[in-house]
Structure 1
Amino acid sequence: MFSAIPISICQPSPTQVRDLDGNLVRSGTKYYILPVIRGMGGGVTLASTRNESCPLDIVQANQEVDNGMPLTFTPVNPKKGFIWESTDLNIIFSSASTCLQSNVWMLEEYDGQLITTGHGVAGNPSQETINN
């Protein structure tokens, strides 16, 4: 004789992301991504890395005094006002770049490696945005 007992597997709910000051990270607010350890370079920015002037890729600025470019986090669920861990979102540089590209972060294969570039497509998860 067998009996079935329903087992519920509890998945912990995602945690809200906080900035270095402990404040909740808000959708659409401009932020800078900076290294936590002083003397380890500057913030995140766009630069040419492919022996060409365009497209631009996401890199860390060499100089500690360079905060990089401001960016925003936008969850694919626009009703969410805050950013949550392990949820889909778009990361978009707020400043214009010197290249005609979108400034939305995405993963791209280049020379056999995955690199983070700044020419993705903003939007909800789909085949067009899976690498964002």
Structure 2
Amino acid sequence: MDPLPSLLSLLLLFLAFPLFPSSASSQQLEPVLDAEGNSLLTGTKYYVVSVIGGAGGGGVTIGRPLTGICPMAVIQENIDVWYGYP
């Protein structure tokens, strides 16, 4: 079997790939907004909390999950007023 056709096909594939950008790279990404509708800023600390007060959970923190499978995980605080880590 002659490897030349396979080699040419592979070469054409690599040459054509940059000509057809993926849809993800050509889409305009929407910014992530804070509770007031402002774009999040790089290098700024934010707390992730529920927007529903009294919903029974606070912010996110690092802790041990109830299953015990993972040694540490990102979990939600049990009390609304505990904001967890930024």
TM-score range, shorter chain: 0.5 to 0.7
Specify the structure having the higher radius of gyration (Cα). 2
TM-score, reference length from structure 1 = 0.40
Q: State the identity %.
A: 40
- What is the aligned partner in structure 2 of residue 24 from structure 1? 39
Q: State how many pairs are aligned.
A: 60
Q: Does 1:42 align with 2:58?
A: yes
Structure in which a larger fraction of residues adopt helix: 2
- Measured against aligned partners, the alpha-carbon deviations of 1:33-85 in whole angstroms (never above 9, x if no partner) come to 00111112100011112548x83111100000100111xxxxxxxxxxxxxxx
- What is the aligned partner in structure 2 of residue 129 from structure 1? none
| Counterpart-to-counterpart distance in 1, 2:82 and 2:28 | 36
Change in 2 beyond 3 A, CA 1:51/1:14: closer
For structure 2, the residue ranges without an aligned partner over 5 or more in a row are: 1-22
Deviating 4+ runs (over 2 angstroms): none
RMSD: 2.2
For structure 1, the residue ranges without an aligned partner over 5 or more in a row are: 1-9, 71-132
| Counterpart-to-counterpart distance in 2, 1:15 and 1:51 | 36
